[in-house]
Structure 1
Amino acid sequence: MTSEPHTSHADGLTGLGVSPGRTAGPVYRMSPPPTLPADVPPVADPAGEVSAAAAALRFVADELTRLSRQVAGTASEVLDTEAMMAVDPTLADAVARRVDAGRPAAWAVTDAVAEQQEAFAAIGGYIAERAADLADVRDRAVARLLGLPMPGLPAPGEPYVLIAEDLSPADTALLGPRVLAIVTRRGGPTSHTAILAKARGLPAVVGCAGILDLPDATPVSVDGTTGVVSVVAAAAVPEVREAAARDRARLSSLTGPGRTADGRPVPLLLNVGGVADVVADAEGVGLFRTEFLFLDRTTAPTVDEQARAYAEVFAAVPGKIVLRTLDAGADKPLPFLGLATEDNPALGVRGLRVARDHPAVLADQLAAVARAAAETGADVQVMAPMVATAAEAAEFAAAVRSAGLPVAGVMIEVPGAALRARALLEAVDFVSIGTNDLSQYTMAADRTNGELAGLLDPWQPAVLELVARTARAGAAAGKPVGVCGESAGDPLLALVYTGLGVTSLSMSGSVLPAVRASLAARSFADCEYLARLALDAPDAATARRAVAGSVAGAAT
């Protein structure tokens, strides 16, 4: 086995809990995608077929754009990106080639998307994660061409737990109020399902083998923290929901700075991509992703454009703002960069490495950040992604300070950087651990491969060892060490990180109350004990169970 199984547990099925919270309800699955007829009709009018396919793809793009206007923040950005995929000239050209080879429009779209999905998978990294987006584009276009109902969410007429093989961004972004929780057979901790479910505050479990074996209407309880999904008696459903409602009420009543029960401060910060992601009940921003300004552009945004966009976010945030410089590269290609195709882009030119051949992009971004910070008076700190060596850290810090920005940091995403954290911290003022990529690189497991979700689990003791090593280096240097990966929003893992010596946690706003409450209920000594439990475990699943069991035992 290459990955720890997430299949069964004494209490039921298990997967990766990726969005905390508890609930219960009957399961209902997504309606199946449209099926192509077995008999392929001949192509009598190739030009007409190409035109029909183009019209269907344009319809899909317009519909996704319309839907994106109904939501905000990350969900809107995700839908806009998928809409752009639907009208990508590369896809249109592939469809035309398939029609020329004798395939009708619906079949041509299906074949062309399969071709692009293979190409995306070969690229790996961020691009491979977009394969599910392409599948949604395909299903919507094929349904339009065949006159079939659009694939989408079930409508059972009662609140329910949505189960699926996987969810497209459109499905997840548009979940209605009757959806109580999400459980998918595929997916990993950084999938769109995980990120968007967390943003909406829905309990979610991914990588849950066996979930699709349950018949529709089977009542289950879902724990998005532990990843346990249990079949329950129908009479137990109201009890679970009432207990969950009491939990939510208790969490919402807790306010103020993050700290342990004995008063140790653990600032709770936000991961944001724009103003829509900012919530009032936070102590600042620990990760401001700036890629939204650069997507789908053939030329780089000007300093003025960037400064205006950054100032809008800076003005909305009370407290410090940690801005990540452009995290792009061959695994997140941006047209204006013109980067060469790479055999292994996840290990190639990405993050800070892009500045080697495009120094003006970084220089302009730093100039815009400095201008926006000066205009708003915001406390802005800047960090670079994908830093591997102390020399890179020092060069970046010099560029930040030359731009008039006083605080420079780097992300710890590469195992080599974690191992040499002491040296990096001599050059910068802070570090922030990106556990998504750190897990991928430490465990040699593609974060887009749902079959390897167990290896990508941030509870992996090897990953926790690197977090601990980095935290010790920060303590020795007297400098902050934060965590800004999705795992910081796990209420149990937040305790472990605190016990390892992490000094701040950055997460989606919807999970902040649960993390605050988790910290407030345990002393720092408790957190240190839980950290030792996790580090001493033989694998991720055992680490999670050990910590969850200890916390549950202490609460009874």
Structure 2
Amino acid sequence: MAETLKGLGVSPGRAAGRVCRMAAPPELPAPTPVADADAELGRALDALRATAAELAERAEKAPDADARAILEAQSFIADDPGLHESVEAAVRSGKDAAHAIDEACAHHRRALLAAGGYIAERAADLDDVRNRAVAAVLGLPVPGVPTPGHPFVLIAEDLSPADTVNLDPDSVLALVTSRGGPTSHTAILARARGLPAVVACREVSEVGEGTWVSVDGLRGEVEVGIGEEAAAEIQRLAEAERRRTSTSRGPGRTSDDHPVKLLLNIGSAADLAPQGVDAEGVGLFRTEFLFLDRREEPGYEEQVAAYAAVFRAAPGGHVVVRTLDAGTDKPLPFLGLAEETNPALGVRGLRVSRVRPEVLDTQLDAIAEAARQSGAEPWVMAPMVTTVGEAADFAGRARARGIARVGAMVEVPAAALRAERLLKELDFLSIGTNDLSQYTFASDRQHGDLADLLDPWQAALLQLIADCAAAGQAVGKPVGVCGEAAADPLLATVLVGLGVTSLSMSAPSVPAVRESLAAHSLAQCRDNARLALGADDPGQARKMILPGW
């Protein structure tokens, strides 16, 4: 008899097939005596450098900006001088190469987890670096995605970016992990590839290899022991649904023609290459991807060229540019920022301009020049705006350069609570649900035991979105959502019912969201919003809105 396991649905869609598990990380052998410390150190550092080079090569071949940035960050971790120094210290204390790498990575992992926030997200990346480097030292195969020779549902404790980035959708039908949360790398990259995914499904670790399962990435359910015939029928229906939505075209609208702009989240012009997705523009241009792989700040001319390329390629010429979203939580060497005990609550986003104002000034100058060269009229917003004063200062600096439409990301409750006042200084707001969830619920985005608190169906988060949307309606200014919540087809109806005017997401998510909105009237969206706001927990909200939940 089939059994249903529950987790968090993070990438919608259905799929069914046989289970295959990720290969286990390499096990350390018994320690060996070190006769030549210099030679042993050389082995260890060679393994780390080879790992860094391999990850950098994978980054160059990555199919999208999210994957590219994540892999580049991993490459930097493997090549980090601080990690190398820790490895050297371990070797000098008598550890062999494999155990020195393991000890150094364990030390840095504890520091990352203690920092919390985005920094803690690097712990999973460091684990992957450790596994790859240890495998290289021991001459073992690098752990990775299995290749059984038939389509399968991939089950793992968690997935590293290097594993996820090259998943073949023709072979991997769906992803299920026992750890992770709705904003984990697994979730983000699964959505970017259109793969159904469920995370934080602890019981999936007990499912045997080869078992037939179905995965529902919207409901967050994994049905175990369904049988081959049932799996074939689920796959047939899923493929029919994909074919149907792939022909979806036109602007986002409810069934009674209420407009909702459907936009794309991108990192560079390369993400706007022909991909068969009909969108109405770019709702989130993450400019930090131009900075993340750099030891030095990109110059003015280089920035102008990168921004102009996006402005020329964007559908309808509509682009919302987010200025550099980095800081001590996502450190860039050229910023020279001091280390902090809690980077998630420190100098990040717009706050970097407090200590390095010239970085933002150069970026605004480059955006303005790129707009002149391309004839575009970009909207520009700052991340981590918290107070009215910050909003006013940013707006003044942008408008002084001829940028006409200036806004802010709403990522902290303080901004949401003062949304109406912020909009007296700004032209629009864009809600980043990933960070807004983290700060609203005081829950680390990578803490697997707290993943349910980051579920975007949480009523407290929806209330903050509703308050922002109401503020926008009061003054006739747009309020969009560009966080991962915008990619959920069912939640999209709730967001529109709350008053959100645009939804920005990865390209594969657009057709399903468009179809979901087209199947609901504005009145139905408002009913869904009312039900979700009144629910005591996300499960209850979904159950009231989705029949048969």
TM-score tier after normalising by the smaller chain length: over 0.9
1:268 counterpart (244, 254, 262): 262
1:45 counterpart (20, 36, 42): 36
The amino acid that maps onto 1:34 is P
* Cross-structure match for 1:4: none
1:132 counterpart (114, 117, 124): 124
Matched, 1:162 2:159: no
Partners of 1:226 and 1:548 within 8 A in 2: no
Shift of 1:372: 0.6
* Cross-structure match for 2:201: 208
Matched, 1:28 2:10: no
Matched, 1:71 2:62: yes
Shift of 1:15: 1.3
The amino acid that maps onto 2:278 is D
**Cα-to-partner distance string for 1:281-303 (whole Å, 9 max, x where unaligned):** 11000000011122253432221
Partners of 1:72 and 1:276 within 8 A in 2: no
Matched, 1:250 2:244: yes
**Cα-to-partner distance string for 1:53-104 (whole Å, 9 max, x where unaligned):** 1111122122223333333222233222212221111111110000011110
Partners of 1:268 and 1:284 within 8 A in 2: yes
Shift of 1:11: 6.7
Matched, 1:190 2:183: yes
**Cα-to-partner distance string for 1:146-181 (whole Å, 9 max, x where unaligned):** 121210111222110000000000000011231000
Per mean C-alpha deviation after superposition, the further-off stretch among 347-356 and 366-375 is: 347-356
Distance between the aligned counterparts of 2:156 and 2:544, measured in 1? 29
The amino acid that maps onto 1:52 is R
Distance between the aligned counterparts of 1:361 and 1:69, measured in 2? 26
Distance between the aligned counterparts of 1:217 and 1:299, measured in 2? 49
Q: Secondary structure at the match of 1:427?
A: coil
* Cross-structure match for 1:414: 412
Distance between the aligned counterparts of 1:345 and 1:62, measured in 2? 28
Partners of 2:72 and 2:293 within 8 A in 1: no
* Cross-structure match for 1:6: none
The amino acid that maps onto 1:198 is R
Per mean C-alpha deviation after superposition, the further-off stretch among 189-198 and 276-285 is: 276-285
The amino acid that maps onto 2:60 is R
Partners of 1:330 and 1:342 within 8 A in 2: yes
Distance between the aligned counterparts of 1:414 and 1:79, measured in 2? 27
1:371 counterpart (369, 372, 390): 369
The amino acid that maps onto 1:498 is V
The amino acid that maps onto 1:300 is E
Matched, 1:223 2:216: yes
Distance between the aligned counterparts of 1:70 and 1:370, measured in 2? 31
2:540 counterpart (535, 539, 542): 542
* Cross-structure match for 1:459: 457
Shift of 1:131: 1.0
1:115 counterpart (99, 107, 120): 107
2:475 counterpart (468, 474, 477): 477
Percent of aligned pairs with the same residue? 59
The amino acid that maps onto 2:261 is P
The amino acid that maps onto 1:412 is V
Shift of 1:276: 2.7
Q: Secondary structure at the match of 2:445?
A: coil
Distance between the aligned counterparts of 1:298 and 1:61, measured in 2? 15
Partners of 1:296 and 1:335 within 8 A in 2: no
Distance between the aligned counterparts of 1:534 and 1:220, measured in 2? 30
Partners of 1:388 and 1:417 within 8 A in 2: yes
| Alignment length (residue pairs) | 541
**Cα-to-partner distance string for 1:309-345 (whole Å, 9 max, x where unaligned):** 1111111102210000111111111111111111221
**Cα-to-partner distance string for 1:109-139 (whole Å, 9 max, x where unaligned):** 0111111111111222222111111111111
Matched, 1:239 2:233: yes
Please report the TM-score for the alignment, with normalisation by the length of structure 1: 0.95
Shift of 1:188: 0.9
Q: Which runs of 4+ in 1 moved over 4 A?
A: none
Distance between the aligned counterparts of 1:173 and 1:299, measured in 2? 26
Distance between the aligned counterparts of 1:523 and 1:191, measured in 2? 32
Distance between the aligned counterparts of 2:116 and 2:159, measured in 1? 19
* Cross-structure match for 2:304: 307
Equivalent runs, 1:422-501 vs 2, <5 Å: 422-501=420-499
Distance between the aligned counterparts of 1:149 and 1:132, measured in 2? 19
Distance between the aligned counterparts of 1:544 and 1:303, measured in 2? 48
1:513 counterpart (511, 514, 518): 511
Q: 1:11 to 1:274 in 2, by over 3 A?
A: farther
The amino acid that maps onto 1:259 is R
Shift of 1:544: 2.3
Shift of 1:541: 2.1
The amino acid that maps onto 1:55 is D
The amino acid that maps onto 1:149 is P
Distance between the aligned counterparts of 1:433 and 1:457, measured in 2? 15
Gap runs ≥5 in structure 1: 1-9
Partners of 2:119 and 2:343 within 8 A in 1: no
Matched, 1:150 2:142: yes
Please report the TM-score for the alignment, with normalisation by the length of structure 2: 0.96
* Cross-structure match for 2:80: 88
Distance between the aligned counterparts of 1:314 and 1:163, measured in 2? 40
The amino acid that maps onto 2:193 is R
Partners of 1:12 and 1:230 within 8 A in 2: yes
Matched, 1:61 2:46: no
Distance between the aligned counterparts of 2:152 and 2:292, measured in 1? 36
